[in-house]
């Protein structure tokens, strides 16, 4: 249910004017019941050391690179029946000067569920598999400053109180219609998001994270055993994998404002297979193209595949789009936020590229 304490109406048109921006909500209409969001007068909140009174993309980028913190927070999901599930988690971030700090996301409990219940165990398992993705892809972050400045604008809606801390409410607005709009409360002292809610262009809530308690320090983190290696580019990664054939260097012209952010090779400890993971960003949003050679084609036995038919499978929920296809023994995944509908066209273009290559 939308929060009674943070109700808002976001009014905008795509030909957005200063007047339309001014009409945007002074609060949000997320799924959950926020604890204590209070709009306060400007005199009640002072800027913290090292942080401007009004956050900028530059200050938010620097906060990600330099700020250690520990937060207890609620992350809200839609379950299979469309109901909102609130999961309490602990987020620990150990900044290292880069845009990819050390971090740990720990499942604590499902709100309203007894420990050990079927729902509780289900979400424990989800966190065991996907906790790192919840942090890297499910929360507002500046991934690349120059691109973010080209593709997004920040709009100030004044001081608030969030998790008993002074914060600043900002709307992060995209330059194109098929991307998320963010409403974020940034901590005035550290610049860390204390609350974020993500909307699509139709103002449907896609994701929501609410900090309940916050400390600007972190205990030493135990380094995770990584099965991922970083590479400079596609050719270096392919050589590292032993030069498997039938893979492609993706042409992503349909998403021209996105740039290649990183190239990784991941090892699956269960089956020994390797996957090439290429992440693209427009500075804030991201999508990934994953290629896994030597993967069985699960579509091969479908009636639609008889006579040489080709298919692309698609999964979409409010927060995520995933498209999957096979060619010449390689599985291809294209995944990103649910609001980025261009991923459908991108998957088709990559499929045609793979067919023409092989």
Q: Given this model, what pLDDT does residue 2 score?
A: 40
More confident residue, 318 or 112: 112
More confident residue, 207 or 232: 232
Which pLDDT band holds residue 254 (cuts at 50, 70, 90)? confident
Which pLDDT score is estimated for 195?
97
Scored b (16 or more CB within 10 A) or e, 171-190 reads bbbbeeeebbbbbbbbbbbb
Contact 24, 11 (CB under 8 A): yes
User: Beta-carbon neighbour count of residue 143 at 10 Å?
Assistant: 22
Backbone φ, ψ for residue 74 (5° rounding): -105, 130
pLDDT tens for 64-91 read 999 999 999 999 987 767 788 999 999 9
Q: Is the pLDDT of residue 223 over 90?
A: no
Reported as a single tens digit per residue, the pLDDT across 132-176 is 878 887 789 999 999 999 999 999 999 999 999 999 999 999 998
Q: What pLDDT was estimated at residue 8?
A: 43
Over residues 227-240, the pLDDT tens digits come to 889 999 999 999 99
Write down the pLDDT at residue 27: 45
pLDDT band at 313 (very low <50, low <70, confident <90, very high): confident
Q: Domain-by-domain residue ranges, the chain?
A: 18-215, 228-357
CA distance 173 to 153: 5
Reported confidence tier of residue 50, pLDDT bands at 50, 70, 90: low
Torsion angle in degrees (nearest 10) through CA of 237, 239, 241, 247: 80
Say which CATH architecture domain 18-215 belongs to: Clam (2.50)
Phi, psi of 11 (to 5 degrees): -105, 125
Domain 228-357 top-level CATH class: alpha beta
145: helix, strand or coil: helix
The edge-to-edge listing of strands for the beta sheet with 84-94 is 38-39, 152-162, 165-174, 181-187, 193-199, 205-215, 69-78, 84-94, 102-110
**Could you report the per-residue pLDDT of 174-205, keeping only the tens digit for each?**
998 888 899 999 999 999 999 999 988 788 88
**Which two structure tokens, joined as six digits, stand for 227?**
């099965």
């Amino acid at each position: 249910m939308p929060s009674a304490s943070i109700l808002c109406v976001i009014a905008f048109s795509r030909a957005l004017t200063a007047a339309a921006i001014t009409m945007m909500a002074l609060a949000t209409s997320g799924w959950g019941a926020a604890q204590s969001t209070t709009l306060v007068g400007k005199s009640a909140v002072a800027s913290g050391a090292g942080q401007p009174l009004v956050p900028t993309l530059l200050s938010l980028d620097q906060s990600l690179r330099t700020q250690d913190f520990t937060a207890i927070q609620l992350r809200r999901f839609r379950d299979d029946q469309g109901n909102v599930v609130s999961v309490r988690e602990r987020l620990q971030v150990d900044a290292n000067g880069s845009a990819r700090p050390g971090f740990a996301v720990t499942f604590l409990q499902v709100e309203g569920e007894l420990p050990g219940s079927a729902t509780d165990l289900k979400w424990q398992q989800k966190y065991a598999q996907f906790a790192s993705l919840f942090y890297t892809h499910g929360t507002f972050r500046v991934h690349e400053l120059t691109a973010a400045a080209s593709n997004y604008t920040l709009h100030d809606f004044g001081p608030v109180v969030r998790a008993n801390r002074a914060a600043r409410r900002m709307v992060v607005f995209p330059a194109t219609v098929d991307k998320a709009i963010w409403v974020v409360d940034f901590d005035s002292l550290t610049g860390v998001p204390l609350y974020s809610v993500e909307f699509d262009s139709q103002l449907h809530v896609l994701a929501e994270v609410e900090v309940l308690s916050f400390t600007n320090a972190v205990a030493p983190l135990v380094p995770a055993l990584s099965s991922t290696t970083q590479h400079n580019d596609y050719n270096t990664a392919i050589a590292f994998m032993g030069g498997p054939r039938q893979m492609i260097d993706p042409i992503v012209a349909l998403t021209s404002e996105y740039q290649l952010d990183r190239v990784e090779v991941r090892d699956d400890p269960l089956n020994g297979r390797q996957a090439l993971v290429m992440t693209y960003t427009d500075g804030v949003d991201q999508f990934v193209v994953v290629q896994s050679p030597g993967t069985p084609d699960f579509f091969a036995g479908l009636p639609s595949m008889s006579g040489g038919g080709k298919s692309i499978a698609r999964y979409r929920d409010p927060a995520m789009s995933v498209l999957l296809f096979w060619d010449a023994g390689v599985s291809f995944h294209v995944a990103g936020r649910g609001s980025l509908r261009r991923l459908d066209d991108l998957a088709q273009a990559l499929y045609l590229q793979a067919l023409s290559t092989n």
